[in-house]
Each structure stands twice: as C-alpha cells, then as structure tokens.
C-alpha cells in the first residue's frame, strides 16, 4: 500500500521540487543564451579599415598630439597603449608588410622608435590587435 505522502506531495518535499524546477529552468535559460550568442562572424574584420585606423593613430601620435585629440582625427577610435598614454614621443614607425586575421581582429607587428623621458630613442617591435566592428579598436597584444 502507498502512503498518502507518495501520491500527494507533502509540504516537506515542496521546497526540493521547487528548487529542482528552478535549477532546470535556470540551466535551460543559460544554455539558450550561450548557444545563441554572437560569434566571430558577427563582428567581421575590414582589413583596409583596420590599416587606415592604425596609420591614422600612429600619424596622430608621431605628430606629437595627445590622446585627448584623437577623437578629432578619427571619431570613435579606441586605443590602449601604455607608452602613448604615459607621454612617450613617437619618432617613427614601420608597419610590417604582413599580419594575420583571426576573423574579427587584425594582428600586425609595428616597429616603434620611441623617446621616453628625454632618453635617446629606442626601437621596439610591438604587436597590435586592431578591430573594426562594432567600433575601431587598437590594443597591444
């Protein structure tokens, strides 16, 4: 014979049933969001635009202008470079002939000739990651 507790949910088991149902609902929601997210195809790289943005920024820096004035030259461009932000002077630069695309970003080596705090200029090779979508971005790798 079955007891009444097995057929009719008892009050003591309700919290377990509710928590289980909520956990299943939460997992289903997370799975649906995760599977429907945007991949690299949602933000495709426009390589000529990436190169133009990189050159515009490097020319801006080389001309001695501050990070604050970049928006006047290339509105919306976001740049992250510790040397530029710390006031290093860019004497010259050379962009490598080839880089590579990961589908969303362009990875390109740039040789910078920098002068920091009155010291003599030094050359260093930096790899930059340049994106074009949804906004133009340039960051050191």
For residue range 62-114, list pLDDT tens digits in order: 999 888 889 988 999 999 999 999 999 999 999 999 999 999 999 999 999 99
Give the number of other CB atoms < 10 A from CB of residue 57: 23
| Backbone Cα Rg of the chain | 27
pTM confidence score: 0.70
The tokens of 44 are what? 């495709």
Give the number of other CB atoms < 10 A from CB of residue 30: 10
Which range, of 20-29, 35-44, 64-73, 100-109, averages the lowest pLDDT? Answer: 20-29
Parse the chain into domains and list their residue ranges. 4-37, 41-140
- In CATH, the number for domain 41-140 is 3.10.450
Q: How far apart are CA 42 and CA 133, in angstroms?
A: 9
Query: Could you tell me the CA-to-CA distances from 98 to 39, 81, 102 in Å, in that order?
Result: 25, 21, 13
């Amino acid at each position: 014979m079955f007891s009444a507790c097995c057929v009719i949910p008892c009050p003591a088991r309700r919290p377990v049933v509710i928590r289980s149902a909520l956990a299943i609902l939460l997992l289903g929601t997370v799975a649906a969001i995760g599977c429907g997210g945007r991949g690299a195809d949602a933000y495709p790289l426009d390589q000529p635009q990436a190169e133009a943005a990189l050159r515009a920024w490097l020319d801006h820096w080389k001309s001695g202008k501050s990070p604050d004035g970049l928006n006047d030259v290339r509105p919306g461009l976001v740049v992250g470079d510790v040397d530029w932000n710390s006031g290093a002077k860019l004497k010259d630069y050379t962009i490598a002939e080839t880089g590579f695309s990961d589908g969303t970003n362009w990875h390109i080596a740039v040789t910078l000739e920098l002068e920091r705090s009155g010291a003599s200029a030094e050359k260093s090779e930096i790899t930059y990651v340049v994106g074009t979508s949804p906004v133009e971005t340039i960051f050191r790798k």
